[in-house]
Amino acid sequence: MDHIAFRTGVIRPIECYKEGWEMIKDQFWLVFAIVLVGMIIGSLVPIIILGPMMCGIYLCLLDRYEGRDVSFDKLFKGFDHFLPSLALTIIIMAPVVVMVVLVYVPLIVMAMAGPNMNESELLGFLAGVIIFELIVAVIMVCFHTLLLFSFPLIADKQVSAWRSVTLSSKAVWANLSGVAGLFGVGMVVAIIGYLMLCIGLYLVIPMIFAANVVAYRKIFPGSTERFGAPPPPNYYQGL
């Protein structure tokens, strides 16, 4: 198994967004089309096709990061990673399905038992359901945050689904403050896009993807460094 090292302390959220915009602005509409089409096709059969489409999007953006022109055809090269991306999608979706079931079961119980509950019991049960749903939401956000780099790892490093999960989790944990800042800036960007008559939300999604790719490449360097010579070996944390 090839050794894959990652860097720590290299994510500067605002700089990632600035660099991401500089990376895609010359081919923005093509990148926008790739991301939009990839997400639409991926949503048609979510579990089966979503993984390859995500890998294809990241392949296109990694090309752009390395200074190569984006090609729409590259989107469908994600199918070269069909099995590992499918397995990763299942790993991601399985807990979501379980959590959704766990959230709706109390609501069904409440609906069935509602007529037999007095007002205080009903309010107490409803409060418990809301608290439970908040806990579930926090767990899912944490889970998906740890998997932030899983799809680009499959596309870029050709690793298995499970190894992409472990590598991404370790890298995110080692760069937790930077990743948290990246999510924070992403939320602000998404809100600004939403306020632009909602249409702007679609326009900022490519920039969010681009910023994530910049962050990914800063943590997981390619075969050639984009900015000068590679840092000294002690700059890396190996796995």
Quote the pLDDT of residue 161: 95
Quote the pLDDT of residue 115: 66
Give one DSSP letter per residue of the chain, joined into a string.
Answer: -----EESS---HHHHHHHHHHHHGGGHHHHHHHHHHHHHHHHHSHHHHHHHHHHHHHHHHHHHHTTPPP-GGGGGGGGGGHHHHHHHHHHHHHHHHHHHHHHHHHHHHHHHHGGGS-HHHHHHHHHHHHHHHHHHHHHHHHHHHHTTTHHHHHHHH---HHHHHHHHHHHHHHTHHHHHHHHHHHHHHHHHHHHTTTHHHHHHHHHHHHHHHHHHHHHS--SS-SSSSPPPGGGEE--
Whether the pLDDT of residue 82 is over 50: the answer is yes
pLDDT tens for residues 86-118? 999 999 988 878 877 777 776 777 677 666 666
Whether the pLDDT of residue 75 is over 70: the answer is yes
Dist CA 219 CA 5 (whole Å): 9
Structure tokens at 154: 């499959």
Structure tokens at 201: 């939300």
pLDDT tens for residues 123-179? 777 787 788 778 878 888 888 899 999 999 999 999 999 999 999 999 999 999 999
Say which residue the tokens 């840092």 belong to: 231
Dist CA 81 CA 101 (whole Å): 30
Amino acid letter, residue 76: F
> pTM for the complete prediction?
0.83
Mean predicted lDDT score pLDDT of the chain: 86
